[in-house]
Amino acid sequence: MRIELGMRNLFRKFLPSHDSVKNQRWLKPFGSLLQHPNLWHLHRRSVSGGVAVGLFCGLIPGPLQMISAALLAVLLRVNLPVAAFTTLYTNPFTIVPLYMAAYELGAWFSGARSGKAVGRLVFPEMHWQNWPSELWAWMQMLGKPLLIGLPLLALILAITGYVAVRLAWRVAVMFRWQARKRRREA
Protein backbone atom coordinates (compact mmCIF):
# COMPACT_ATOMS: atom_id res chain seq x y z
CA MET A 1 0.00 0.00 0.00
CA ARG A 2 1.39 3.34 -1.06
CA ILE A 3 0.90 6.28 1.29
CA GLU A 4 1.00 9.67 -0.33
CA LEU A 5 1.12 12.74 1.85
CA GLY A 6 0.65 15.97 -0.08
CA MET A 7 1.15 19.42 1.35
CA ARG A 8 -2.57 19.73 1.92
CA ASN A 9 -2.77 16.52 3.95
CA LEU A 10 0.26 17.54 5.98
CA PHE A 11 -1.35 20.86 6.92
CA ARG A 12 -4.74 19.26 7.60
CA LYS A 13 -3.17 16.98 10.16
CA PHE A 14 -2.26 19.95 12.38
CA LEU A 15 -5.05 22.46 11.69
CA PRO A 16 -8.47 22.53 13.36
CA SER A 17 -11.52 21.80 11.22
CA HIS A 18 -13.75 24.63 10.06
CA ASP A 19 -16.70 23.28 12.07
CA SER A 20 -14.70 23.05 15.30
CA VAL A 21 -13.65 26.69 14.94
CA LYS A 22 -17.17 27.75 13.97
CA ASN A 23 -18.61 26.16 17.12
CA GLN A 24 -16.09 27.64 19.56
CA ARG A 25 -17.89 29.58 22.26
CA TRP A 26 -15.28 32.33 22.55
CA LEU A 27 -15.27 32.99 18.78
CA LYS A 28 -19.05 33.58 18.55
CA PRO A 29 -18.74 37.38 19.01
CA PHE A 30 -16.73 37.61 15.78
CA GLY A 31 -19.64 36.10 13.86
CA SER A 32 -19.25 36.15 10.11
CA LEU A 33 -15.73 37.62 10.15
CA LEU A 34 -14.27 34.15 10.69
CA GLN A 35 -16.57 32.38 8.26
CA HIS A 36 -14.77 33.26 5.02
CA PRO A 37 -13.60 30.02 3.37
CA ASN A 38 -10.08 31.30 2.59
CA LEU A 39 -9.37 31.62 6.31
CA TRP A 40 -9.55 27.84 6.72
CA HIS A 41 -9.14 26.20 3.31
CA LEU A 42 -5.77 24.91 2.21
CA HIS A 43 -4.98 26.03 -1.28
CA ARG A 44 -1.85 27.66 -2.57
CA ARG A 45 -3.14 31.24 -2.49
CA SER A 46 -4.44 31.15 1.07
CA VAL A 47 -1.46 29.22 2.45
CA SER A 48 1.15 31.38 0.70
CA GLY A 49 -0.70 34.50 1.87
CA GLY A 50 -0.81 33.10 5.41
CA VAL A 51 2.92 32.44 5.35
CA ALA A 52 3.59 35.97 4.09
CA VAL A 53 1.39 37.51 6.79
CA GLY A 54 3.03 35.36 9.48
CA LEU A 55 6.54 36.24 8.35
CA PHE A 56 5.66 39.93 8.25
CA CYS A 57 4.02 39.96 11.69
CA GLY A 58 6.70 37.78 13.25
CA LEU A 59 9.02 40.77 13.63
CA ILE A 60 6.49 42.77 15.63
CA PRO A 61 7.88 43.09 19.15
CA GLY A 62 6.29 41.38 22.08
CA PRO A 63 3.23 39.19 22.35
CA LEU A 64 1.35 41.02 19.60
CA GLN A 65 2.70 38.83 16.79
CA MET A 66 -0.07 36.21 16.67
CA ILE A 67 -2.83 38.74 17.32
CA SER A 68 -1.65 41.00 14.50
CA ALA A 69 -1.17 37.99 12.20
CA ALA A 70 -4.73 36.83 12.93
CA LEU A 71 -6.14 40.31 12.32
CA LEU A 72 -4.22 40.71 9.06
CA ALA A 73 -5.23 37.21 7.94
CA VAL A 74 -8.90 38.07 8.47
CA LEU A 75 -8.48 41.41 6.73
CA LEU A 76 -6.58 39.95 3.75
CA ARG A 77 -8.58 36.69 3.79
CA VAL A 78 -5.64 34.33 3.88
CA ASN A 79 -5.23 31.16 5.93
CA LEU A 80 -5.50 32.20 9.58
CA PRO A 81 -3.92 29.19 11.34
CA VAL A 82 -0.96 29.20 8.95
CA ALA A 83 -0.45 32.93 9.52
CA ALA A 84 -0.53 32.54 13.30
CA PHE A 85 1.74 29.49 13.27
CA THR A 86 4.31 31.11 10.96
CA THR A 87 4.97 33.88 13.49
CA LEU A 88 6.75 31.28 15.62
CA TYR A 89 9.91 31.63 13.53
CA THR A 90 10.87 34.36 15.97
CA ASN A 91 11.87 32.85 19.28
CA PRO A 92 14.56 33.51 21.89
CA PHE A 93 17.20 31.92 19.63
CA THR A 94 16.34 33.80 16.42
CA ILE A 95 15.14 37.21 17.60
CA VAL A 96 18.59 38.71 18.28
CA PRO A 97 20.08 37.75 14.88
CA LEU A 98 16.91 38.93 13.12
CA TYR A 99 16.95 42.29 14.90
CA MET A 100 20.67 42.65 14.19
CA ALA A 101 19.99 41.98 10.50
CA ALA A 102 17.16 44.53 10.61
CA TYR A 103 19.48 47.06 12.22
CA GLU A 104 22.18 46.48 9.59
CA LEU A 105 19.60 46.72 6.77
CA GLY A 106 18.19 49.93 8.27
CA ALA A 107 21.66 51.42 8.75
CA TRP A 108 22.57 50.64 5.16
CA PHE A 109 19.26 51.93 3.78
CA SER A 110 19.18 55.12 5.88
CA GLY A 111 22.78 56.02 5.13
CA ALA A 112 23.93 55.67 8.72
CA ARG A 113 26.92 53.73 7.40
CA SER A 114 28.17 56.63 5.24
CA GLY A 115 31.62 56.86 6.81
CA LYS A 116 30.53 58.03 10.24
CA ALA A 117 31.37 56.05 13.31
CA VAL A 118 28.39 53.97 14.27
CA GLY A 119 27.72 52.89 17.82
CA ARG A 120 28.46 49.36 18.89
CA LEU A 121 25.73 46.81 18.32
CA VAL A 122 26.59 44.92 21.48
CA PHE A 123 24.24 44.89 24.43
CA PRO A 124 25.42 47.34 27.14
CA GLU A 125 26.73 46.16 30.47
CA MET A 126 24.05 46.98 33.00
CA HIS A 127 23.93 46.90 36.77
CA TRP A 128 20.92 46.97 39.01
CA GLN A 129 21.27 50.69 39.77
CA ASN A 130 21.68 51.96 36.18
CA TRP A 131 19.88 49.48 33.98
CA PRO A 132 16.98 51.76 32.93
CA SER A 133 19.24 54.59 31.76
CA GLU A 134 21.68 52.23 30.02
CA LEU A 135 18.87 50.38 28.25
CA TRP A 136 17.27 53.65 27.16
CA ALA A 137 20.59 54.99 25.79
CA TRP A 138 21.17 51.74 23.89
CA MET A 139 17.64 51.86 22.40
CA GLN A 140 18.15 55.47 21.31
CA MET A 141 21.42 54.51 19.62
CA LEU A 142 19.60 51.83 17.62
CA GLY A 143 16.63 54.15 16.89
CA LYS A 144 16.39 55.16 13.24
CA PRO A 145 18.20 52.20 11.64
CA LEU A 146 16.07 49.73 13.59
CA LEU A 147 12.82 51.57 12.85
CA ILE A 148 13.64 51.52 9.14
CA GLY A 149 15.16 48.04 9.08
CA LEU A 150 12.38 46.12 10.86
CA PRO A 151 9.62 46.90 8.32
CA LEU A 152 12.05 46.42 5.44
CA LEU A 153 13.19 43.02 6.71
CA ALA A 154 9.58 42.03 7.44
CA LEU A 155 8.59 42.97 3.89
CA ILE A 156 11.54 41.09 2.39
CA LEU A 157 10.75 37.98 4.46
CA ALA A 158 7.05 38.17 3.56
CA ILE A 159 7.70 38.44 -0.18
CA THR A 160 10.32 35.68 -0.05
CA GLY A 161 8.01 33.40 1.93
CA TYR A 162 5.09 34.04 -0.42
CA VAL A 163 7.12 33.27 -3.52
CA ALA A 164 8.81 30.22 -1.93
CA VAL A 165 5.48 28.66 -0.91
CA ARG A 166 3.94 29.33 -4.33
CA LEU A 167 6.95 27.76 -6.07
CA ALA A 168 7.12 24.77 -3.69
CA TRP A 169 3.39 24.15 -4.11
CA ARG A 170 3.73 24.35 -7.89
CA VAL A 171 6.68 21.94 -7.92
CA ALA A 172 4.82 19.49 -5.67
CA VAL A 173 1.79 19.60 -7.97
CA MET A 174 3.98 19.07 -11.04
CA PHE A 175 5.64 16.02 -9.42
CA ARG A 176 2.23 14.57 -8.57
CA TRP A 177 1.05 15.12 -12.16
CA GLN A 178 4.15 13.39 -13.51
CA ALA A 179 3.76 10.48 -11.10
CA ARG A 180 0.10 10.12 -12.08
CA LYS A 181 1.05 10.21 -15.76
CA ARG A 182 3.69 7.49 -15.24
CA ARG A 183 1.20 5.31 -13.35
CA ARG A 184 -1.35 5.65 -16.16
CA GLU A 185 1.22 4.79 -18.82
CA ALA A 186 2.40 1.70 -16.93
Question: Which range in 14-28, 63-77, 99-113 is most confidently predicted, on average pLDDT?
Answer: 63-77
Buried b (16+ CB within 10 A) or exposed e, 171-180: eeeeeeeeee
Amino acid at 114: S
> What pLDDT was estimated at residue 117?
45
Mind listing the pLDDT tens digit for each residue in 134-159?
666 666 677 788 888 999 999 999 99
The whole-angstrom separation of Cα 91 and Cα 59 is 10
pLDDT tens for each residue of 22-71: 666 666 666 666 777 777 878 889 999 999 999 999 998 777 899 999 99
